[in-house]
Amino acid sequence: MKFLDQAKIYLKSGDGGDGVTAFRREKFIQLGGPDGGDGGRGGDVVFEAVENLNTLIDFRYSQHFRAKKGGNGSGADRTGAGAPTLRIKVPIGTQIFDDDKETLLADMDTPGKTITLLRGGDGGFGNARFKTSTNRAPRRADKGWPGEERWVWLRLKLIADVGLVGQPNAGKSTFLSVVSGAHPKIADYPFTTLHPQLGVVRLSMSEEFVIADIPGLIEGAHEGTGLGTRFLGHVERCAVLVHLIDGAAGNCVDAWRTVRHELAEYGGGLIDKPEIIVLNKADAMTPREISSRRAALAKASGATVMVASGVSGQGIPEVLRALQNIITESRKK
């Protein structure tokens, strides 16, 4: 299934049904009076967050959603049928923005969450509503009220506990495949990962978390270089970031600073999230290189630097345990 995390769609709630002009006509009953019924209410447009979706691909092929019109009233004081609610199912983590792409209308961040975005129009009054002591035979009946309509943007931000960030070929996809059951594409060229990947890490029967891998960041990504920074929206909800650095490349401090700069330029509070720095690909470095590069990273970042290898598994359990401890504290809050 192709991954799509942004879509623009048109919405319209149903118009209200029309009221009618009618008079009671029965044998042996003279001057029965007005008995035109009201129109039915138009259908609402409701969004619902469901668990079995993880992409907005359905909205590429279906972009216009219209609720049905309410039924018209009829004689014998019969009210028109109300139109059914139009329910639009979206993945958990979907945000709904106005046409300006800035005004947030709803955040579907929990399973089963629903929101009525557009309300259907009310039905018009039939002529029975206008009968008075001085107007015994009104011939007025109102049209139904029109429904609401608008264009909205849907933007999916994946629900994950941990976000993997780093430059291309830092070993993020390998790390994800080792610690979870995910099977991302792994190759020895830049930008192997073209869209976010999710994996579930289980440390024990009661300890598990979701980890998200996003495309690599390079210098100038916030200006559109490479794949840009739009994918960083998928780690905005994470409790902690794992910053993987390719230790075998040799320019560890520059790589760390480049990614941190791109996080700061993107915003969204990413620069302030807890960060675990991991010097990756320990299997491709000598002990002396590991020691010197780890010390340089620790001095530049002012944080503890962990060492790991997705290929050999070195240091992986320690990294996962550190992540679980941070996530546990975050969930308590």
- Is 229 assigned to a binding site? no
What pLDDT does residue 177 have? 85
Tell me the C-alpha distance between 260 and 303, whole Å.
13
224/96 same-domain check: no
- Is 310 assigned to a binding site? yes
- Is 287 assigned to a binding site? no
145/17 same-domain check: yes
- Is 328 assigned to a binding site? no
Last residue of a domain, one of 96, 126, 156: 156
152/168 same-domain check: no
Residues 6+ apart with CB under 8 A from 27: none
- Is 192 assigned to a binding site? yes
- Is 171 assigned to a binding site? no
- Is 311 assigned to a binding site? yes
Whether residue 314 contacts residue 287, with contact meaning beta carbons closer than 8 Å, is answered with no
117/210 same-domain check: no
Whether residue 153 contacts residue 99, with contact meaning beta carbons closer than 8 Å, is answered with yes
Tokens of 267: 């915003």
Q: What is the pTM of this model?
A: 0.75
Give me the CATH number covering residue 176. 3.40.50.300
What pLDDT does residue 148 have? 95
Range of the domain at 73: 1-156
Phi, psi of 91 (to 5 degrees): -65, 155
83/205 same-domain check: no
259/310 same-domain check: yes
Q: How far is CA 252 from CA 91, 186, 274, in A?
A: 37, 21, 19
- Is 215 assigned to a binding site? yes
- Is 114 assigned to a binding site? no
- Is 77 assigned to a binding site? no
Spans of the chain below 50 pLDDT: 1, 189
- Is 228 assigned to a binding site? no
- Is 282 assigned to a binding site? yes
- Is 132 assigned to a binding site? no
**How many domains does one find in the chain?**
2
- Is 199 assigned to a binding site? no
What pLDDT does residue 116 have? 95
188: exposed, middle or buried (Cβ count in 10 Å: 0-12, 13-18, 19+): exposed
- Is 98 assigned to a binding site? no
- Is 21 assigned to a binding site? no
What pLDDT does residue 97 have? 94
